[in-house]
Structure formats: C-alpha cells, structure tokens
Amino acid sequence: MALKGSLILLGLFFGMLLLGVPVAVSLGLSGTVVLLVEALGIMALPTNIWTGIAKYPLLALPMFVLAGMVFEKSGVAERLVRFAAALIGARHGGLGLVAILVCMLLGGISGSGAADAAAVASVMLPSMLKQGYPRPYCASVIAAAGSTAVLIPPSIPFIVYSVFVPGVSVPALFVGGLVPGLLCGLALMLPAIALARVHGFGAPGPETQREGLGQAFRDAAWGLAAPIVILGGLRSGLFTPTEAAVVAVAYGLFVGLVVYRTLTPASLYAVFRDAGEISAVVLMIVAAASIFAHAGATVGAFDSLARALISLAPGEVAMLLAINLLILVAGMLIDAISIFLVFLPILVPIARSFGWDLTWFGIMLTMNIAIGAFKPPMAVNLMVTCKVAGCSIESTVPWVVWFVAAMAAALLLVAFVPEVALFLPRLLGDL
C-alpha cells in the first residue's frame, strides 16, 4: 500500500503542477484520489479540511495580511522612503540602499514581501528613473529587498511553520529570524552599491536636495513605531502573536484614518476586499494541504521518502546542502506556504534524525523561500516589481543574479553556523 499510494500521491501532485493546475487543486485532488484508491475512508475529507484551518495561530494570518494592506494604502511607505533618503543622504547608488532599508522597515509591519515590494516600487520608481537607474535594476533590487519581509518579524511563513511543526513557538521564530533578516538586508546592499558604481548610474544630480533628518523622522515616526508596538507587545507578554496581528490592524487604521487621514471609505473597502481575497487563497491552500498530508501520512509516503533520503545521503553536510538546493528549486516554482505544506512532512523527520534544532531549521527553510521569491522564473516579488517598472522578467536576470548570490552567502552562513539564528532566542529565553 505504501509504495502504490506514495507513487499516486506524489506523481499526481507534481504532474498536475507541471500542467499548470492551481496548487490548492493539485494538493486536494491528489490526496482525495489516494483516499479513494486505497479505501482509506472518503468521509474523513470534511473533518480533515476543518481541522486543517481551525487552528488558533492561523487567525494571525489574515490579520497580518490586512495590516500590510492598511499600511500600504495609508501613506506609510512614502514617509518611510523620505526618512530613509534623509538618513542615507545623496550618494552614488543611494536610492538602492533606500529601497532595501524601507523594505526591511515595512517587513517589520506586514510580513508580506510582495505587498512591501509593490508599495516601495510605486513610491521609489520615479525618483530612481530620474537618477538614471535602469528599469530592470530597479525591479531587481526592490524585489530582492522585499523578500526580507518573510524573515523580519512578523512573518507569515513563520506562523504557518509553527502550526505544522509541533513544539516550535512563534516568538522563538520571530526573534530568531531578526538577525538573519538583517544579514540578508546588509548582504543585498553590497551588490546594490557595486552595480551602481560599476555601471555608472544612480549619481545624485546637482538639483538633488536632502530633506532634514529631523523633519523626515517626525513624519515617519508613526510608521517607525509600528514594529516597536508589535514586537514590544509580544516580548512583554502584553499580547500573543495572534493578538499582535489584530493590534497591528487597529494601529494601522488609526494611523491612516486619524493621523495621516489618507484612508477613505472607498479605499477601506478596497483594502478589506483585497486582504480577504489573499487570505482566502492562502487558507484554501492550507485546507487542501490537510487532505494531502492526511493521505500521505496514512499510506506512509512521507516516512518512506524521508528514510530513503537519509539512507542515500553520504553525510550530514551533504543532506543539509541537498535540502537547501531542493527548497531553492521549489521556491522557483511554488509559493512559500505551499512549500511548507508539501515538504515539511518529509523534511522534519530528516531534521529530527540528525538532531537539528527545528527553530533554526524553519528559519533556514524560510531564507531559501525568500530567495525563491525573487529568483526567476516564478518569482512572485519580481513579477510585481516588473509590472510596476514596466520591464520583462528576462531583462532582470543580469541584475538579479547578483542579489541571489549575495543572499545565498547569508543563507550559507546561517546554515553552517546555526547560532547566528539561535543566539538571540536563547538570550531572551525563547528556546
């Protein structure tokens, strides 16, 4: 039963993906076929779907999506850009650094890389083009910078990972992702500056005026305070991660409606509609993945595959490199949530067999997923920024490869020196 069921389950799933079938349909249909063929009880489907999404931590997911949409529409991104520009000043390649810094700041609010990349691209593109930055470069650097949002807390993939890996806490993942997220941001700054200098673009013109840092800080103070409110409340025990998502929404609505007064009833409707659509898509994938996971666990597909991979690997280092390569490739084809739901049942037993820390393991996997978000061909962040910049994904390849290499270097550091990610959670008592 195990071999036959495993072949049907995995063969159908990957076959439908290659044919372009939506991920949720591929997951649900392949799991359902296995339940029917192996006579495992089709009546378990409704229960599996319900239990897949009826998890308290998942309540944070739609709330953080909504928070990101609220902050995007409330004008926070524009004020953060002005603050970052005043902080960095007029220098060669400075706007590339501004884009990276603002994406990291927004990542501390929304946890959604695509939303952050879209917001920053729409605000920064005119000024970057004015200073001679090529459109493919603009799309590449902003897409790469937006990927840090899934590492800098709050992070939607971290929430999903904690739900499907028992014993791993959201606070530990949030705190542990902070240093790797900052490392990735710093790593991206190196090629951003180097490319601007080598190719001779991004030099500020004589008419470029630097806004006063004090005034820019005052204008951006409400946006800068958002990560402090969210993470400070979590660290102090004032609210749980799920409650923190609700606080983020309330704070964003207060800033947009009362402080900046940029949100209108019409824009609020659009925000709630878009956030609802995105959340529904993600939760549909989670629900369908619960069928896939139940079928795979029942026929023993995941355990068999994990044991086979362990037996084939010549050692721990080879297995670690193989896992990173697998998730890097998967990140080019499917989204972060789907990667976790499909591969965690296989990879977590492998991690446990080698005695790896599961908090570090989740952070490492998320770094791979972050790279996949701007690595062609199916780069979600890059698709968004290319649409805003008006260029093709193919034209970004000569630029984006340098950002992939920089972030891969940060990934290797975290992969082979786990304490880079774990020392802060240990220090704060989350491990």
pLDDT tens digits, one per residue of 19-78? 878 777 888 888 888 888 877 777 777 877 887 777 777 787 788 888 878 887 887 878
- Are residues 374 and 143 in contact, defined by beta-carbon separation less than 8 angstroms? yes
- Give alpha helix (H) positions in 237-357: 241-254, 265-299, 301-312, 316-331, 336-353
Q: Could you read off the pLDDT of 155-201 as tens digits, one per residue? A: 888 888 888 888 898 889 989 999 999 999 999 999 998 998 888 87
pTM comes to 0.85
At residue 381, the pLDDT reads 83
User: CA 50, CA 384: separation in Å to the nearest integer?
Assistant: 32
Token pair for 131 = 């200073």
For helices 60-73 and 241-254, the axis angle rounded to 10 degrees is 20
Distances (CA, A) of 167 to 7, 163, 364, 427, 431: 30, 9, 17, 19, 10
Q: Could you read off the pLDDT of 330-340 as tens digits, one per residue? A: 777 677 777 88
> What is the residue type of 197?
R
User: CA 153, CA 121: separation in Å to the nearest integer?
Assistant: 21
Q: Is the pLDDT confidence value at 310 over 60?
A: yes
φ and ψ at residue 429, rounded to 5 degrees = 80, 20
- Are residues 156 and 112 in contact, defined by beta-carbon separation less than 8 angstroms? yes
Q: Could you read off the pLDDT of 199-208 as tens digits, one per residue? A: 887 676 655 5
User: CA 353, CA 419: separation in Å to the nearest integer?
Assistant: 20
At residue 332, the pLDDT reads 73
Q: Could you read off the pLDDT of 119-158 as tens digits, one per residue? A: 788 888 888 888 888 999 999 999 999 888 889 888 888 8
At residue 115, the pLDDT reads 73
Token pair for 275 = 């956030």
Q: What's the chain's length in residues?
A: 431
Token pair for 64 = 């953080």
User: CA 34, CA 1: separation in Å to the nearest integer?
Assistant: 10
